Structure 1
Amino acid sequence: MTRTPWQERSVVVTGGTRGIGRGIAESFARRGAAVLLTGRDAAAAREAAAEVARATGGRVAGTGVDVREAGAVEAMAAEAERLHGHVDVLCANAGVFPEKPLREMTAADVDEVLAVNLRGSILAVRACLPAMERVGRGRVVLTSSITGPTTGYAGWSHYGASKAGQLGFLRGAALELAPLGITVNAVLPGNVRTEGLEGLGEEYLRRMTASIPLGRLGEPADVADAVAFLASDEAAFITGQTLTVDGGQTVPESLDALAAAGPGTVAGLR
């Protein structure tokens, strides 16, 4: 049987125990790649890896990693090399999104969000860089968000800052790593149906669905497919770029613009 390019690839997915990260891990496992998914809780990461492996028939391992800690992400990269021989793709997906109004926000709140979402992404890329250099190629895909780079949402200003910061890092890293054959890109998801989104309540889900021209919330697989493209051979000439995956949510300039497009879910907001 002819092996596909994916069967030769080793993929690391941070924050892969649930939600978008788990969807990304499942997507690569189904394609035949060897996957190492991580979570802050080691037992949860191993359990998620076993479940993904059973569901996909793929090669999936799990390990505990706190992406805020340089030593932890360096150990992660070493583990991926030990298990699979090399690291070809890093999906820096780990993130937190606690709601906190600015007037109530503490310095510790800011530090936690920036440490996981921004510092964690930078440290993960740095940790995987030597392994990618050894194989002479690499793909880095960051999970950013429409919130921060494109839009704003009250209560998530620190989250938005962290996600916009990822894109500043992306552009500099893309320039630095291009001579090494390593591309650096990002996906910007909109509202995706995950455990975290479900926790915001039915009213939030209804309002968000009503604001999306395609008439539905995203699914983790929608984002995972975009990540897989950016990590593929077909995207070899794409670096320093972002791909928005939001069902058209950021396209209308107003509710009137959405309504003028024709019958749709905007009526749900009235």
Structure 2
Amino acid sequence: MSRPQSRAASLEPPLHPFSTSRRLAAEALGTALLLAVVIGSGIMGERLAGGNDAIALLGNTVSTGAGLVVLITIFGPISGAHFNPAVTLVFAIRRELGWGTDTAYAAVQVLGRVLGVWAAHLMFAEPVWQLSTKLRDGPAQWWAEAIATFGLIATILGSVRFRPEATPLAVGLYITSAYWFTASTSFANPAVTVARALSNTFAGIAPTSAPGFIISQLAGALAAWALFSWLLKERTAP
């Protein structure tokens, strides 16, 4: 007699038959659009804020959170809408993504983030090639990035487990909140971190500051995976 289907399995959305090439294209395009949103809204916010960083950050926050909801809704059914090597790593560890596929995802995310930054620069008549000079260093910033990424992975795993249809909104709302409650303004994404190092604008980060952020993000992601693997595991029937 077969075992009854688990509650987790019954809540997972049906898989759509998209080819690997389409999934990779979706990841690249989605990551590019995400970076265009992050960098573009930062430039616009800074230009319109008249030197008020709080107003600039508010504009950057609202645009990024809203953009995430839309992008995850569009690309989620195709590729899972990771747009983030930390997310891809977690799903690879969970064996929900093949190890070859996860490497390809990371590669196209890198490509997409560069194209997105350049697209934003061109929209605002900025030099295409830039390196940020904005230092974001120190234990408080690194700890903030670990917390931000931990919360992002927790949001994704929890919403996928219990309310998969709410995942786009949950992720968008979490990032909107984390922009303000973290000292680092919640990059929570190694690809975004590297991309923002290529933009000497409001949302930028100096290349020398990026490694500390990336290490903290990966640590936060792995901590969330470890905890939520236990927290979300159902008791098996005797």
Structure having the larger proportion of residues in helix:
2
Structure having the larger proportion of residues in strand:
1
Q: Which has the higher contact order (CA 8 A, sep 6+)?
A: 2
Answer whether TM exceeds 0.5 for this pair. no
Query: When the two structures are superposed, what TM-score results if normalisation uses the length of structure 2?
Result: 0.32
